[in-house]
């Protein structure tokens, strides 16, 4: 994981989006999937969820590959959203940010834990 994370850090830094301002999480009743609703003006009301996210190494760089399903297109046409590069960039930047935040959180927990593992 460490070597891969080193490669991820060299990506162009995406625009930072804020939960509650640019997007919000949605828990679907009776389902363990968490979705996101976009709050940004251009795609306001679009609800989707990610699946099959992975990092693909390409030489010294890495790319984030992910799938998504649009649950509710808001005022947009689903086919247009699926081909809209600006939409893909937006949800890719949000996913990148969520993953980097998770890695930072995990690293912080690991750095603050001074107890040795009991591997017996």
Token pair, residue 83, equals 């081909």
Mean pLDDT of the chain: 80
Q: pLDDT tens-digit profile of 69-79?
A: 999 999 999 99
Question: What integer is the mean pLDDT of 71-90?
Answer: 93
CA 35 and chain centroid, separation:
11
Burial group, residue 110, by CB count within 10 angstroms (0-12, 13-18, 19+):
exposed
Determine the pLDDT at residue 28: 84
pTM, rounded to two decimals: 0.74
Give whole-number Cα distances, 79 to 69, 84, 89, in Å: 12, 9, 16
Determine the pLDDT at residue 3: 40
Question: Domains of the chain: which residue ranges?
Answer: 2-106
The 10 Å CB-count burial string (b at 16+, else e) for 26-49 is: beeeeeeeebbbbbeeebeebbbb
Which tops the pLDDT comparison, 27 or 56? 27
* Residue 30 pLDDT class (50, 70, 90 cuts): confident
């Amino acid at each position: 994981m460490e070597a891969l994370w080193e490669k991820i850090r060299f990506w162009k830094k995406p625009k930072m989006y804020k939960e509650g301002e640019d997007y919000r999480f949605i828990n679907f009743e009776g389902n363990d999937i968490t979705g996101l609703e976009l709050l940004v003006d251009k795609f306001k009301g679009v609800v989707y969820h990610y699946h099959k996210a992975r990092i693909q190494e390409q030489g010294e760089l890495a790319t984030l590959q992910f799938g998504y399903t649009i649950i509710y297109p808001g005022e947009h046409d689903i086919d247009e959203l699926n081909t809209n590069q600006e939409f893909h960039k937006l949800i890719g930047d949000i996913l990148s940010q969520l993953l980097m935040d998770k890695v930072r959180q995990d690293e912080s927990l690991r750095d603050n834990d001074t107890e040795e593992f009991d591997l017996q």
